[in-house]
Structure 1
Amino acid sequence: MAETIHQEKEIEKSFDSSIMKRLMHYAKSQWLLLGISIILMLLVTALDLAIPYVTKIAIDEYISPKQQQVYTLKDDPNVSLASDLSASLILPSISEKVLGTYKTTAYEPSVLYTEDGVTYLVKGMSRSKSLETFKLANDGQTATLDGVTYKVKSVTATELDVVKANNKHQILVLTLTLGSLLVISFFCAFGHTYLLNYGSQKIVYNMREELYSHIQNMSLSFFDKNPVGRLVTRVSNDMDNINEMFTNVLVTSIKDFLLLIGTLVVMSIIDFKLTLICFSTMPLVLISASIFRKKARNVQREVKVKLAKINATLAENINGMKIIQIFNKEKDIYEDFDAINTDFLKSTIAETRVYAIFRPTMNLAYSLSLGLLLWFGGGDAIKGAVELGVLVAFITYTQQFFRPIMDLSEKFNILQSSMASAERIFMLLDEKESIVNPTHPVPLANASAGRHFSGEIAFEDVWFSYQANPQTDDDYVLKGVSFKAGVGESIALVGATGSGKTTIISLLNRFYDIQKGRITIDGVDIRDVDKHKLREHIGIVLQDVFLFSGDIKSNIRLYNESITDENIKEIAKYVNADGFISKLPLGYDEPVVERGATLSAGQRQLLSFARALVFDPGILILDEATSNIDTETELLIQDAINKIIKGRTTLIVAHRLSTIQHASKIIVMSKGEIKEMGNHQELLSKRGMYYDLYTLQYSESVYN
């Protein structure tokens, strides 16, 4: 398909530090919430690392201990456990192990060692990972380990019951400890998630407010080149992408990074050999991640561009659905949309293919690591070189290590999408207003200076082109236009379509700026006036009346709560709108659907008169206000026009010359130039262009 206004600029970078810096600028307002969220996240990470270690202690120390650390009296060579267990043997508790209170000069470390169902007390020996070299002497009184001989005593069933009772108590303590850690982790995770999402939503809220305000202040030339669907995508979808980046990528990536480092450190401390075995598949992970990053960036960029194109096309086609159905073009428009949608489908399938390969690859790497861990670690556990709790902890840590790596695909997807969204949003925010307010605006009315608004309009040799840099006279829409509208005068603009009538109206409201000449109101150049204050003095009634969803009275007052319901009813009666409003089921509270589709063209036009008049403007503009209206409604509208133009400077754009015969001055336009100027009788007497237009319309009306 051909390039259209809906084509999006492609974003090449998957990460841009300058864009991220600007995003962090918006995050400053929520630094306290985000800071607390990060602290809670660090606590959650620490707890995630601690929980498998607690499980390891429970298994190795108390549930299935191959060896158990105890402390015996140094001066008790026989270690008579049965005679006085509390005096001769210390079974350290969890708190004692942490605080080190058992480390006194009277006691020395010893080990309860279990082999072939028999438990021995090895006096003077500390816990060791080299139990495969442990050899019990034939007399059963001594044993050697790594060339060192230790005294050994067989533990009786009665003595063993005491040890088991202590172990059972410690398991209860560990269970309560584990439960407490899980509860703390739950509340920390809840606080982290809530504060992070709240802060992120506030950041996006502020950005969306700024973006919408910026769009509102842009000139009409901006909307000429930016379709509605694209702008809606910026304010909605793109903002959602940025919110996802804050909640699911930035802060959580810090957690993932710390969890990876912490897991690696803890595993290395517990057993360095098993750590190397677990991470032997990391080259596969790194290679896969590198390939994925490059492929995902390309497909994600395509998906983003084509999705925005779909949104823009949808908005345009839905707004033009009436024309599509009138001209029976549903099939053609559907085929165009089908081509765009098919193009999008191909990109999404390519994206799915990339992600479908990456995650199974990560699962394969994890499965290989787990398999190697079970093979080598399980063999060492059978030989006694590795305790069972260590193996269980390593299985948990391995899973914990690979989980954020597996989530990398989703996070990269969000990051890529968010960076593209952020860049497009900032491109929009960086677009300068073409209609710039003056630094020191001149007020049109200044009571302190004794100057009041009167509404005198003057166009002085005005040249204008919709092109930014017109090269020839043919590029100009208006060419040397000069006229004056005195206070209270009604000026009619007539001429063929494209002659420049509506352009004059847009320039007076300063929707565009002229290239040459000057436009003044009460002798003040409108470029020296605050554009918002300027428009407060101008009321406009367009041919295509736009009504907002809401009710009748809200469409008349337009969010100005100082306008009372009584004012609205008074104005509606004055412009002949009360007649149809009062017949509606809910009257002035009658709901108005989008664009006022349930009201006739004449009813919408009468509402627009009421809306213009209720603000009491000094200058009134009527742009084709009586076009496409039935005769009965036209009489009501014409009567309303005659009422509302009294005492106001009025510009009337009209094709029906019968509606402007009483205008103070009629200006005939052709190809951007003023060809004739005068009142109705003067122009007829000249027998020029106006005479030809009038004669043509009169003959058509007689013929019809």
Structure 2
Amino acid sequence: MEYNEKEIVKSYDAKLMWRLFKYAKSQWLILTLSIIMMLFVTGVDLLIPYITKIAIDDYITPVSQEIYFTDTSDENATFSINSRGIVFPGLIARTFDASPYATKGQIYRGPERYYLIDDYTENLSGSGAEIEIKNGTILINGASYTAIPLTDDQTDAFKSYNKTQILILTLTLGAILLLNFAFSFAHTYLLNYASQKIVYSMREQLFSHIENMSLSFFDKNPVGRLVTRVSNDMENINEMFTNVIVTSLKDFLLLIGTVVVMLMINWKLTLIALSTMPLVLFSAQIFRMKARAVQRQVKIKIAKINATLAENINGMKIIQIFNRQETMFNEFDTINADYLKSSIDETKVYAIFRPTMNFAYSISLSLLLWFGGGDALSNLVELGVLVAFVSYTQQFFRPIMDLSEKFNVFQSSMASAERIFMLLDEETTICNPPQPKRFEADAFRGEIEFDNVWFSYDENPKEVEDYVLKGVSFKIKKGESMALVGATGSGKTTIISLLNRFYDIQKGRIYIDGVEIRDLEIESLRSQIGIVLQDVFLFAGDIKGNIRLNDENISDERIHEISKYVNADGFICKLPNKYDQEVTERGSTLSAGQRQLLSFARALAFDPKILILDEATSNIDTETELLIQDAINKIIHGRTTVIVAHRLSTIQHVDKIIVMSKGEIVEIGNHQELLEKGGMYYDLYKLQYKDN
């Protein structure tokens, strides 16, 4: 099937997620460690505003501060008043053991100085109590309590104590932040490491799957689209693991934790801060629907660009030869403009969402400052609480604002995952049978038989005209050479494709050594067949790497020996680096003849018992043709050989010549026999040698 991006309509698919998590199983330990560290980082994010609140309300601008009375000899006493020592619970207020101290009081910050209230135990900060000081007494909501003014020395001692507590808080916060940095680094590193390993496994599986697909699959799928699957789509999966799944878990925990802490501090301010949530939820729903539609369009258009780009680059020589640059540019410009329009539509959706979230945050912050600021002035709310709520509100809206980017990544990842799994689920039409047979190398003979073979590139041919081969039958004995000749489109190349089982036939049988090739293990079959194509493909690397195709079992000495045998050593030794000479992609720096000689060396390096030569001498100069013809005469010796050729002069020595026309065999015989028949082969011969 052809992978059409228009089929992708889901923004979330539980089955896809489950399949993705199966790949994550191998990294569960690393992911678990990363999540544990993420929990610590989230806890620190929740802790920082709370520590700020403690610093402001308890030590920077406290309305009142809780103290305990003790003996002046108590080492915990900060200073003394009227022969009584004063002890501050400090940072350990919630774990402070008050049992040794019988009574407690408050130090109150008056308009001009500090006072000790020794018979009042409630904290006045944020209480909203009406307070008035008169003649050594303090009136709290009309009730009278003793107020002892602190001396300058006592005030300095009190402030010095608070400065010490602030320093302790600062150092504690600094230590926590350093630890948080280490945990954050480890969390990010481990998460990205695990994600890369997951994508590495998926990419290897996908590449291996593509390698084993039949040629009919590549006939229907553009190279650009397949490259997009292995590269761009895999990168989208990586982005989802690193920037969406785990970080979304952190955002969710941060949102829940923020709300819980806010409710614990002041539930009224919490309701005010979250009053814009209906607007947020409504906007998020609209954004989700709009973003899904534009994302789908963007994916369709970028796939078209990739496919068009790959096609144009591969065919650049033809484009330039026929001077079609402007035409192809206009075609690409149309596709590119279409993609631009979809991208602008996408930008509009995302450009509206974030300002909407900023607007909702601004409203919440304004309401919080208005109501919270008024309560702070009325001493109904502590200043530190208001400052903490401003931080928590910002912390609450931050992940919501990031929702647009994360939804973008998630949407792309879901589409990418679906396309990747569609590709992985595509079963090759060429596969091994349940119990495949293997050839023993020593016992392999190389006998070939086509028995009434019918074949069409259309999987469901309906008419006879749909078939490329029609009832083809012939036999080649061990060590025999056979040539296929005929007009273009007569089915010659199709025969060699079927012999390698690149395609499966619709009717008939193909036998190798008496075994039907569909009963053979594909690797065993192809390991016995060497092929030299007209269009030689060379990989980026060096000369010897292209001969051995990364098979380290083929030694350098063997490569040198083979290259001399097929006449390739002559030009190789003239290269600056000889066998280590760098080869560009497709061997563009080498001539057609040099590439052809390398292909002979490559075929012979694997010592196949069956050799296929497909137009091996076409488009070659006369001098190189003589070298190639000599190489052919050498390498076909003792091998079953199938030669596809247009030049009849190159096949006069073969044992058998098959003349093809419109997918059918019209003549079989050797060169002399076919000339004597005076049929189609005779006509082809006359056309090629009419001048002689």
TM-score, L = length of structure 1? 0.95
Give the alignment partner of residue 168 of structure 1, picking from 157, 163, 181.
Answer: 163
CA contact (8 A) 2:537 2:587 kept: yes
Equivalent residue for 1:478? 469
Shift of 1:98: 3.7
Whether 1:8 aligns to 2:5 is yes
Q: Distance in 1 between matches of 2:128 and 2:436?
A: 91
Give the alignment partner of residue 33 of structure 2, picking from 36, 43, 63.
Answer: 36
CA contact (8 A) 2:78 2:157 kept: no
Question: What are structure 1's unaligned runs of at least 5 residues?
Answer: 75-79
Equivalent residue for 2:430? 435
Q: Look up the equivalent residue of 2:364 and give its one-letter code.
A: S
Q: Distance in 1 between matches of 2:104 and 2:230?
A: 68
Whether 1:698 aligns to 2:689 is yes
Q: What's the secondary structure of 1:9's corresponding residue?
A: helix
Shift of 1:172: 1.1
CA RMSD of aligned residues (A): 1.9
Identity of aligned residues (%): 67
CA contact (8 A) 2:547 2:598 kept: yes
Give the alignment partner of residue 123 of structure 2, picking from 124, 127, 148.
Answer: 127
Q: Distance in 1 between matches of 2:386 and 2:377?
A: 11
Q: What's the secondary structure of 1:513's corresponding residue?
A: coil
Equivalent residue for 1:357? 352
Equivalent residue for 2:17? 20
Give the alignment partner of residue 255 of structure 1, picking from 250, 256, 259.
Answer: 250
Q: Distance in 2 between matches of 1:420 and 1:511?
A: 31
Q: What's the secondary structure of 2:431's corresponding residue?
A: coil
Whether 1:592 aligns to 2:583 is yes
Q: Against the structure 1 CA distance between its residues 108 and 302, is the aligned structure 2 distance closer, same or farther, given a 3 Å change threshold? A: farther
TM-score, L = length of structure 2? 0.96
CA contact (8 A) 1:6 1:309 kept: no
Whether 1:461 aligns to 2:452 is yes
User: Could you give the per-residue CA deviations for residues 170-195 of structure 1, whole angstroms, max 9, x where no partner exists?
Assistant: 11111111111111111111111000
User: Could you give the per-residue CA deviations for residues 93-119 of structure 1, whole angstroms, max 9, x where no partner exists?
Assistant: 21x314221x21643342222131232
Equivalent residue for 2:132? 136
Give the alignment partner of residue 93 of structure 2, picking from 91, 97, 100.
Answer: 97
CA contact (8 A) 1:592 1:598 kept: yes
Q: Look up the equivalent residue of 2:50 and give its one-letter code.
A: Y
Q: Distance in 2 between matches of 1:272 and 1:180?
A: 31
Question: What are structure 2's unaligned runs of at least 5 residues?
Answer: 72-76
Q: What's the secondary structure of 1:107's corresponding residue?
A: coil
Whether 1:497 aligns to 2:492 is no
Select between 575-584 and 125-134 the one with higher mean Cα deviation. 125-134
Q: Look up the equivalent residue of 2:538 and give its one-letter code.
A: L
Equivalent residue for 1:77? none
Equivalent residue for 1:553? 544
CA contact (8 A) 1:143 1:152 kept: no
Q: What's the secondary structure of 1:180's corresponding residue?
A: helix
Shift of 1:681: 1.0
User: Could you give the per-residue CA deviations for residues 627-653 of structure 1, whole angstroms, max 9, x where no partner exists?
Assistant: 111111111111111111100000000
User: Could you give the per-residue CA deviations for residues 137-162 of structure 1, whole angstroms, max 9, x where no partner exists?
Assistant: 634324223x6554433323232222
Q: Distance in 1 between matches of 2:126 and 2:610?
A: 98
Superposed, which structure 2 residues align to 1:108-507 within 5 Å?
A: 108-122=103-117, 123-128=119-124, 131-136=127-132, 138-145=134-141, 149-445=144-440, 452-507=443-498
CA contact (8 A) 1:577 1:607 kept: yes
Q: What's the secondary structure of 1:385's corresponding residue?
A: coil
Shift of 1:81: 9.9
Q: Look up the equivalent residue of 1:529 and give its one-letter code.
A: L
Q: Against the structure 1 CA distance between its residues 489 and 111, is the aligned structure 2 distance closer, same or farther, given a 3 Å change threshold? A: same
Q: Distance in 1 between matches of 2:653 and 2:79?
A: 124
Q: Distance in 2 between matches of 1:508 and 1:130?
A: 90
CA contact (8 A) 1:7 1:309 kept: no
CA contact (8 A) 2:79 2:157 kept: no
Q: Distance in 1 between matches of 2:83 and 2:517?
A: 99
Shift of 1:168: 1.3
Equivalent residue for 1:53? 50
Q: Distance in 1 between matches of 2:150 and 2:53?
A: 25
Q: Distance in 2 between matches of 1:137 and 1:589?
A: 97
Superposed, which structure 2 residues align to 1:597-608 within 5 Å?
A: 597-608=588-599
Shift of 1:68: 1.2
CA contact (8 A) 1:567 1:614 kept: yes
Shift of 1:73: 5.8
Give the alignment partner of residue 565 of structure 2, picking from 549, 574, 593.
Answer: 574
Number of aligned residues: 687
Q: Distance in 2 between matches of 1:226 and 1:8?
A: 12
Q: Against the structure 1 CA distance between its residues 137 and 572, is the aligned structure 2 distance closer, same or farther, given a 3 Å change threshold? A: closer
Whether 1:516 aligns to 2:507 is yes
Equivalent residue for 1:622? 613
Select between 303-312 and 426-435 the one with higher mean Cα deviation. 303-312
